[in-house]
Structure 1
Amino acid sequence: MSTPLGDFVRAKRDSIQPESFGLPDRGRRRSPGLRRSDLAARAAISVEYLTRIEQGRDRNPSSAVLIALADALSLDATERQHLRYLAKITGGECAGRPRPSPPSRHVRPTVLETLRLLEPGVAFVTNRLGDVLAHTGGFELVVRGTGLLDSDEPNLTRYVFTDPRARTAFPDWDQVADEQAFDLWLGPSVEASEWFTAELAPVAGQEFTRRLNRHLPPPSVPLRLDHATAGELRWHRERLELPSTDAQQLVVLLAADEATTRAVERLRHRSHGLLRAIS
């Protein structure tokens, strides 16, 4: 049985071209990327041990082995953090845990007050599952017509993978889908992620599960949003992590170019933004 840690190591190995590490091209092979024997040699571990990790038969590699694998795969800082997280949850998979349940949707009054102070800016409170827990009127203004806020409990991840309108709203749909799937590995807890994945996978299909099992952190790029009347809007995203007890983020969208700034100003002149907290 595979594990998140094994899936990640295998996916990363498959994504690496041998020549990028100065290794010779050994001709055609059944699977792409770096050979298992080459990675084992770079990490100074046996091929048999690497096989056990990738196949999920070894769930508790030491810190030294994790560091060796990270070095051998030339992981960046984000990927190294993700590797450690996957090792942690993989090692605890055998322990008995209560039945997963959805996380709290409560947003503290002081966070709601912070949103109020950000008006007429574009900001919202979310968690790593993609729940849109509260937002400014500015956020509602720029996503109006996309369908994202149509649900009583809007969720960006569910919207991206199950609502056809998302592919029009996000010109870079593949990038957004990669981001939302990867975020599920980061919380708000292992149990909450398991609950959400079990709920979403049957309706989201292979587009979701394929990305979920890839484990490769997506690049950080501006978000493009296609507005029905304002046209294409481009945003930089500033994410502020709230205390761990909240397991939430305050995300502020900042115009990435002058065209977006002008388009949003025109939208504001036509509407009045009001804070709306979603319980």
Structure 2
Amino acid sequence: MSTPLGDFVRAKRDSIQPESFGLPDRGRRRSPGLRRSDLATRAGISVEYLTRIEQGRDRNPSPAVVNALADALSLDAGERHHLRYLAKITGGACSAHRRPSPPNREIRPTVRETLRLLEPGAAFVTNRLGDVLAYTSGFELVMRESGLLDTESPNLTRYVFTDPRARTFFPDWDQVADEQAFDLWLGPSAETSEWFKAELAPVAGQEFTRRLNHHLPPPQVPLRLDHPAGQELRWHRERLELPSIDAQQLVVLLPADGTTAEAVERLRHQHRVLRAVG
């Protein structure tokens, strides 16, 4: 049975071209990427031990082995953090059948004040499960007609995988879906994330479940929205991690070009007119 740690190591190994590590091209292979023997040599472990890790037969590699694998795979800081996290949850017991305590949904007063200071910009507070916990009027203006905020407790992950409108609203739906699935590995707790994945999988279907074992962080690219008003909006996203006790993050959407900034101003004007008429 595979493990999150083994899946990540194998996926990362498959994504590396041997030539990038100065290794010779040994011709056609059945699988892409770096050979197990090459990675084992770089990490200073046996091929048999690496195979056991990748196949989930060894669930408790030492910190020294985890660090050696990080060095051998030339992981960046974010990937190293993710590797250590996967090693931690792979070695621990976690039940997806018993609902854990729900994540904290309270927003600290200072965070709410930060949101107020960001008005009329588009910003929101979320956790890695995708819960939208608080947001600015600018975020509401942009998302109002998408359907995301129609429910009492909006959840971006659930919206992306279960609401048909999401595929139209996000032109790069596959990119957004990859991001939301990957974020579940960084949830408020391993138990909460496992429970959420088990609850969502039956209704989200194969598009969700096949992404759960893709452990490579998706690339950071501008977010495109096909707004119902007939305008494509492009955003840069700035993510600010709040203290670990909150298990939340503040996400700010910044117009990626002048066209988006102008379109948002038109939306604000239209909204003011509609409110005045109403």
TM-score (norm 2): 0.91
The answer on 1:68 being equivalent to 2:65 is no
Amino acid at match of 2:117: L
The answer on 1:3 being equivalent to 2:26 is no
SS of the residue 2:210 aligns to: helix
Question: Following TM superposition, by how much is the alpha carbon of 1:98 offset from its aligned partner in structure 2, in angstroms?
Answer: 7.0
For 1:84 and 1:112, the matched residues in 2 are separated by 32
Amino acid at match of 1:195: W
The answer on 1:212 being equivalent to 2:212 is yes
Q: Please list the CA deviations of residues 145-167 of structure 1 after superposition, one character each: whole Å capped at 9, or x if unmatched.
A: 11111122111111111112111
Counting only pairs closer than 5 Å after superposition, residues 266-277 of structure 1 correspond to structure 2 as 266-272=266-272
SS of the residue 1:212 aligns to: coil
For 2:119 and 2:76, the matched residues in 1 are separated by 36
Counterpart position of 2:34: 34
Question: Following TM superposition, by how much is the alpha carbon of 1:256 offset from its aligned partner in structure 2, in angstroms?
Answer: 1.1
Question: Following TM superposition, by how much is the alpha carbon of 1:29 offset from its aligned partner in structure 2, in angstroms?
Answer: 3.2
Amino acid at match of 1:93: A
Counterpart contact for 2:15–2:32, Cα < 8 Å: yes
SS of the residue 1:9 aligns to: helix
For 1:102 and 1:38, the matched residues in 2 are separated by 43
Identity %: 84
Q: Report the CA distance shift for 1:94/1:202 in structure 2 as closer, same or farther (over 3 A).
A: closer
Counterpart contact for 2:94–2:191, Cα < 8 Å: no
* Worse-matched range after superposition: 85-94 or 234-243: 85-94
Counting only pairs closer than 5 Å after superposition, residues 188-203 of structure 1 correspond to structure 2 as 188-203=188-203
SS of the residue 1:25 aligns to: coil
Q: Please list the CA deviations of residues 43-62 of structure 1 after superposition, one character each: whole Å capped at 9, or x if unmatched.
A: 11101110111111212212
Counterpart contact for 2:5–2:87, Cα < 8 Å: yes
Question: Following TM superposition, by how much is the alpha carbon of 1:117 offset from its aligned partner in structure 2, in angstroms?
Answer: 2.5
Counterpart position of 1:156: 156
Question: Following TM superposition, by how much is the alpha carbon of 1:116 offset from its aligned partner in structure 2, in angstroms?
Answer: 2.3
Counterpart position of 1:17: 17
Amino acid at match of 1:108: R
Counting only pairs closer than 5 Å after superposition, residues 122-161 of structure 1 correspond to structure 2 as 122-161=122-161
Count of residues in correspondence between the two structures: 273
Question: Following TM superposition, by how much is the alpha carbon of 1:110 offset from its aligned partner in structure 2, in angstroms?
Answer: 3.1
Counterpart position of 2:106: 106
SS of the residue 1:45 aligns to: coil
For 1:268 and 1:44, the matched residues in 2 are separated by 59
Counterpart contact for 1:102–1:196, Cα < 8 Å: no
Counterpart contact for 1:7–1:215, Cα < 8 Å: yes
Q: Report the CA distance shift for 1:94/1:238 in structure 2 as closer, same or farther (over 3 A).
A: closer
Counterpart contact for 1:124–1:133, Cα < 8 Å: yes
Q: Unpaired runs of 5+ in structure 1?
A: 273-279
Question: Following TM superposition, by how much is the alpha carbon of 1:17 offset from its aligned partner in structure 2, in angstroms?
Answer: 2.4
Counterpart position of 1:116: 116
Amino acid at match of 1:200: L
Counterpart position of 2:165: 165
Q: Please list the CA deviations of residues 106-125 of structure 1 after superposition, one character each: whole Å capped at 9, or x if unmatched.
A: 22333223222322111111
Counterpart contact for 1:102–1:195, Cα < 8 Å: no
Counterpart position of 1:78: 78
Amino acid at match of 1:143: M
Counterpart position of 2:181: 181
Question: Following TM superposition, by how much is the alpha carbon of 1:233 offset from its aligned partner in structure 2, in angstroms?
Answer: 0.8
Counterpart contact for 2:99–2:192, Cα < 8 Å: no
Counterpart position of 1:237: 237
Q: Please list the CA deviations of residues 236-278 of structure 1 after superposition, one character each: whole Å capped at 9, or x if unmatched.
A: 1111222222111111111111111111111111214xxxxxx
Question: Following TM superposition, by how much is the alpha carbon of 1:100 offset from its aligned partner in structure 2, in angstroms?
Answer: 2.4
Counterpart contact for 2:13–2:34, Cα < 8 Å: yes
For 2:189 and 2:94, the matched residues in 1 are separated by 16
For 2:61 and 2:19, the matched residues in 1 are separated by 28
For 2:269 and 2:187, the matched residues in 1 are separated by 38
For 1:105 and 1:197, the matched residues in 2 are separated by 18
TM-score (norm 1): 0.91
Structure with higher RCO (Cα < 8 A, 6+ apart): 1
Counterpart contact for 1:234–1:260, Cα < 8 Å: yes
